[in-house]
Structures are given as structure tokens and as C-alpha cells.
Structure 1
Amino acid sequence: MDKIKKRARDHGLTFGTLPTGKENTITDVPGVSVGQITLFEGEDIRTGVTAVLPHEGNLFREKVLAGTSVINGFGKTTGLVQIDELGLLESPIMLTNTFSVPAVTEGTLQYLLQENEEIGTTTGTVNVVVGECNDSSLNDIRGLHVRPDHANSSIKRASSHVGEGVVGAGTGMSCLGFKGGVGTSSRIVGDGTLGVLVVSNFGARNDVDLPTGSIMMIVATDYALNERQLQRVAKRTTFGLALTGSTAHHGSGDIAIAFSTAKKIDHEGDELERFKFLRDDHSVMNDIFNATASATEEAIWNSLFAAETTVGRDGNEERAITREEALEIRQSLVGMKD
């Protein structure tokens, strides 16, 4: 059986009824970009950094609304408490391995300080958002190989292209007992777009109902949603995650961050902000929830389909899933007949 080298839809899998965006990636949302640095060196360095940028402007000066959902909190993220308090995202969303959160935070801070000389002097501080998963099965995580300049570089190389599988923060990750990593998907919802990017690192072969590990799920949309509504959207990633067999195991960090590009909030704006948001009872809100769940599920499967067999620390190997294995697992989970 050959390892899968394509995306899920290339093998006939479908996810929900809504159409995908042009590239079926999170960057189908206008203005969103992704940058990645991959560290694949020697026999035991299998890690990296992934940066998700909400828009191409100055992220500190032009903030966007955001919300979070912590499905299970066995994680070491930074910046979530301020998003929950103020509903604003003012940095790239950075993803890496567990022990590299401090280095990536420092590198991202350096980038923001270079862009904004007033931070910490004539204005306040900045909230850096970093998420993580544990890649120690394949990566020498104790070596602290990710450095601040890797974070800085990942931001600067952000573009509309999104690599999947063994790339960026997904380089050393595993999913459902196979090689996992970065995956992405998008949906067209009425007049708007919604996209999801994941770093998948949960589950064990022959034990898909009791997974271990973690996942970071990032949702972007150009719909005009407020911070409370974005928190609701972030919660809906749970259903896409559940469709892949996760039950949010005790030791898993299952965390979602959702943001909207529809409104930029000026750092020194008027005293009174004026907004227009989608009504909660508008029918399209249910479509947005549906899109979030199905794009999350597809992004997870894309992370598996794109990944290649990887050997890392101490000779540990996570092999690529085969088409037959993927279909067998999915049929057992959702009763599909492919």
C-alpha cells in the first residue's frame, strides 16, 4: 500500500455540503497569510514554527476582533487571557512545539517592537499569541532548537501559499498514530469565506476513541462577527475534531482561536467605536458554525494525507497513513462508504 501524497478530496472524501474556497486553505480569506520555518536537521531535530497573519498591515496598530475556546486546557499557550478579556488580536498567531513557546514569543515580540517603536514607551505593551503541541516523539524537544529568529523569519515569509504535513510547527507532530502536522481547509458561506488551519498531534493507532496529544485550530473569516460571536465560532471546532475520533483526552491541549478580518480596530481610535455585526439569529450564522466544523475535520485529514513518513529522535518513526487505512478509520468514525 502506497502512502498518501494528496489531499483528502483527491481520494474521494467529502466533508459537509458547503463549497470550498478557491485553494481550500485558510488564506482563501482575503488578507490572511501563513509563514512557516521548518527545522529538519540531523537525526533528532524535527520541529518548526508556523505564523498566521490576519492581514498584511501593522497588526499592532490595526487589531482584529477574536475569540478563543479551550476544549481541554493541557496546554502552554500565551496570550489567550487578554483575547478573552478584550476580544482583540494584535499579533500574528504563532504555532510551535511546547518548549519553544518562550523563544517564539521573544522572536514575535522582537518583530512587533521593530515595527512599532512606541510599544513600551509612549504606548502600552503588546499581547503576543503563541500556541503549541508536544513533538517530543520525533523531535529533541529538550534541545530548544527553535530560536527567536525562526519566529521572526516565519512572519516575514508569510504568503498566500500554505504548506501541509511535515512543515513548520507540524514537522514533528503525530495524529491518530500516524504522521500528522499542518493541515488547512476553507468554505464559502454565502457572501463570505471561512478558513481553518490546524496543527494535529492527537490520537493513537487502534485507539482512535481514546486519543492522547493535542491540537491547535485557527479559524479565520471575513464575516462581520463580534468577539462574543467569534468565541462561539471557536467552540464549533470541537465538532470537527470529534468527527475524527477525539474525545479531548485528559492530557491533550485542544485549543481554538477564531478571528474576523471584517473590521480593523485602530490602536488609537476614536473614543466611541461603531460596529455592525451579523445578528446571532441570522440563518447564515448556522452556516458559519457548519463551515467551521466541516473545515476543521477536513483540515485534520489534510494534515494526515499530506504528511510523509518521518524518522526522528532515537530512531522513532511515524509513518504516513495509507489510503486504505484512512478510509477504514473514517468509515469506522462516521459510517461512510467510500
Structure 2
Amino acid sequence: MQTRARDLGVVIGTLPTGELNAITDVPGVSVGQTTIADGDLQTGVTAIVPTGVTSGLPAAVAVGNGYGKLVGSTQVDELGRLETPILLTGTLSVFRAADALLTYLLDRDPRATSLNPVVGETNDGYLSDIRRRPITEQHVLDALTSASTDRPEEGCVGAGTGTCALGFKAGIGTASRRVLLGEDPSAAAGELADGQPAGTIGVLVQSNFSGTLQVLGTQIPAPQRIEPDGNSCMIVLATDLPLDARQLGRIARRAIFALGRIGSDYAPGSGDYAIAFATAYRPPMPDQDLRPVFQATLEAVEEALLNSLTAARTTTGFQGRTQYAVPHELITAARDRARQPSKPTA
């Protein structure tokens, strides 16, 4: 059983989660993963598959630091449109994954002559022999065809099999928040009195960045300070809220801000990206109603990042290198410290 932050008594923020506390709480969003965990190879593929994406969905990309490879990002920004599933993998496998995604899409649309595959990455070369570029077309197809609306596995799976963050083993993490428009953000989820429906922000992350872990305001320095190559993070946000591409860009930028809440140092060699999409084109909500959406984004991203660490396990990979998982007792100690009443100042 994978351990999540809430299993350790760590609750981020005040907004309610979705039923699964995962990106798949957003209706129409599925996730599939293929994992390669075999000695020198610790890598994989994570696929985020929205229903109806091939017809186009409103979307935006935000770049915190552009030291990375995010295939298809410029067209998403130019048109405000996502037209393929989103794949995550290891750095040098991005291009093979993009080609495999094209095969998958062309097989389903014999008339297509132009497609914009979206594939992101982080560098898992500390624990995996990245130069072997082990991702094949079959790995990608397996991730896509296995996508489901169940809660995705977290930690050392899929594109997170070989990733590390904040001095510890990390991986894939997910979380969600319910957004209650026009109401107190801490109110119960459901239909609002004025008829405005509640919506969901769902997040999935691939954690692989440097800094010092921070849980509820308490720093947890890693005893083994190894900074692997890469130091990046991919953040995917999905929502069923009525948002247009411009507003989704604002949401994506807040997702990058959330990295700082858990201790990212935003290193110069880091590729920090957020992709946000809505599950349908609808007239957008007023900008003045975005405050709870921003809050939901920050909370969900922070919790997804923490889940990517608590669910990970100590891993030995390429050339016998080992990256240790964060000891859960350090997380609970930080939780207990956060619960202590603050002492009054003189």
C-alpha cells in the first residue's frame, strides 16, 4: 500500500479534495502508466488522456525555468488548444515517445495530416541509464491503452520510476481540490445556493527538482545530499471549470509558484513546466471569481508534490546508485511541530 501525505496526518490547506484526491477526480480524465524497473533501467511513461482531446480542449503552458524539453508547447500556447494526450517520460526518451504518440493518433484518424503531440520530461539519469533511451513504441501504447479513471499509482511508477526531488527519492504524485464558486472556500462541496456548480482542479506531477524539503513550514534537510542531473518538475493540471486558455495560463503560473511551498530552489538547470487544460469549451467564468481556483491550484500542487515523495521507495539503479526515500517519521515530526501552538512574542 502506497503512503500518501494524508495517511501521515499531513493536510495541506483548507479546501475539500475530490473523492480520490487525484487528477482523475476531474470527469473525463484518465491516466495510464508503463514502468521499467530493471537494474540499470529505472524509467517509464505516464499518459494523461482527456476524453475528447482529439477535438481540441482549451489549454495553456507556463514555464518557470525553460531548461527542458516540452514537445508541442509552443503550439499549445499559440492556439490555446490541446489536441493530444499528454505524455511524461525521461529526458532522452521524449522524442521516441512523441513519435509513438503520433503512431497512436494516426492509427485512429486516417485523415489526419497535422498533429501536435505534447510530451514532457525530467532527467532520470542518476538512477537510470538514460543514454540507452529504453522507451519503445509499445511502452507508450501500453500506457495510453491502459489509461483509467482510477486513482493513479504514485511514487516510483511510470515517468517517476527514476526521479528524485529535494534530496530524496520522488516520482509521480497526484491530488485534487473542489472549487466552490461564490462561497466560503472551506464550505462543503456540492451545488451552490445561487446555482453555480462546484468544479474540480486535478493535478499530476513528475517530481525531480532540487532544494530542501519543507512540510507545513518545517524544513527536512536530506541526510544524503546528492543532486542528480535534471532538477526539474512537470505539472499537469486538469479542470472541469469553465476557463478559457488565458485563464488557464494564470492557473498554470500558480502551479509553478507552488513548487516554492515545498522547498524548490528553482535551480538554473531546472526545467519547471505546468500544462493546464479544461475538459470542454464553455463561456469562461469572470476573472474576479478566480481566487478560489488559485487557492485550489496551490493546495493541490503542493499535496501532489508531497505525495510523490511519501509514496516513493528507496531505489538502487544505474551503476549501483541508491536514492533513499524520505523517512516517514520525519514527515510526522514536521506535522507535530506544525500543530504546536506558537509562543507569543515579547
TM-score range (shorter-chain normalised) is 0.7 to 0.9
Alpha-carbon separation, structure 2, partners of 1:157 and 1:279: 37
**Partner in structure 1 of residue 269 of structure 2:** 251
Which residue does the alignment assign to 1:261? 279
Post-superposition offset of 1:5:
4.5
Q: Are residues 1:92 and 2:88 paired? A: no
SS at match of 1:247: coil
Aligned twin of 2:17? 20
Q: Which residue of 2 aligns with 1:176?
A: 166
Is 1:114–2:103 an aligned residue pair?
Answer: no
Q: Is the 8 A contact 1:244 1:330 kept in 2?
A: no
Partner deviation per Cα, 1:254-292 (whole Å, 9 max, x = no partner): 0000000132xxxxxxxxxxx51101112xx11010000
- The one-letter code matched in structure 2 to 1:289 is F
CA distance in 1, matches of 2:108, 2:244: 27
Q: Distance in 1 between matches of 2:210 and 2:329?
A: 18
The residue that corresponds to 1:270 in the other structure is none
Shift of 1:116: 0.6
Which residue of structure 2 lines up, in the alignment, with residue 269 of structure 1? Answer: none
Contact 1:18-1:291 within 8 A present in 2 as well = yes
1:279 lines up with 2:286 in the alignment: yes
Give 3-state SS (helix, strand or coil) of 1:236's partner: helix
- Cα distance, 1:63 vs. partner? 1.0
In the superposition, the TM-score normalised over structure 2's length comes to 0.86
- Match of residue 299 from structure 2: 294
| RMSD of equivalent CA atoms | 2.1
State the distance in 1 between where 2:333 and 2:293 align: 29
Aligned to 1:164: 154
- Work out the CA distance in 1 between the residues paired with 2:149 and 2:40: 30
Structure 2 alignment gaps of length 5 or more = 181-197, 213-220, 341-346
Shift of 1:204: 5.3
C-alpha deviation, 1:238, in angstroms = 2.1
Secondary structure of the corresponding residue to residue 178 of structure 2? strand
Matches within 5 A, 1:2-151: 5-41=2-38, 43-55=39-51, 57=52, 59-60=53-54, 62-120=55-113, 125-151=114-140
- Residue 327 of structure 1 deviates from its aligned partner by 4.5
What is the letter of the counterpart of residue 251 of structure 1? Answer: G
Equivalent position to 1:318, from 305, 319, 323: 323
- Matched AA of 2:286: R
Deviation string 1:17-49 (CA, Å, 9 cap, x unpaired) is 1000000000000010000000112x2010000
Q: Given the superposition, is the C-alpha separation of residues 20 and 140 from structure 1 closer, same or farther in structure 2, using an over 3 Å criterion? A: same
TM-score (norm 1): 0.88
Q: How far apart, in 2, do the equivalents of 1:207 and 1:232 lie?
A: 33
Match of 1:336 in 2: 338
The 3 A distance-change label for structure 1 pair 330 and 136 is farther
Task: Report % sequence identity.
Answer: 47
- 1:207 is displaced (CA, Å) by 7.2
The amino acid of 1:172's aligned partner reads G
The residue that corresponds to 1:222 in the other structure is 240
Relative to structure 1, is the Cα distance of residues 137 and 328 closer, same or farther in structure 2, using a 3 angstrom cutoff?
Answer: farther
The residue identity in structure 2 corresponding to 1:336 is A
Cα 1:224–1:186 change in 2 (3 A) is same
Task: Specify the alignment match of 2:202 in structure 1.
Answer: 195
- Give the whole-Å Cα distance in 2 for the aligned partners of 1:294 and 1:95: 22
| Secondary structure at the counterpart of residue 39 of structure 1 | strand
Distance 2:324 2:272 in 1: 23
Q: Which amino acid aligns with 1:192?
A: G
Instruction: Return the alpha-carbon distance in structure 2 between the equivalents of residues 201 and 336 of structure 1.
Output: 26
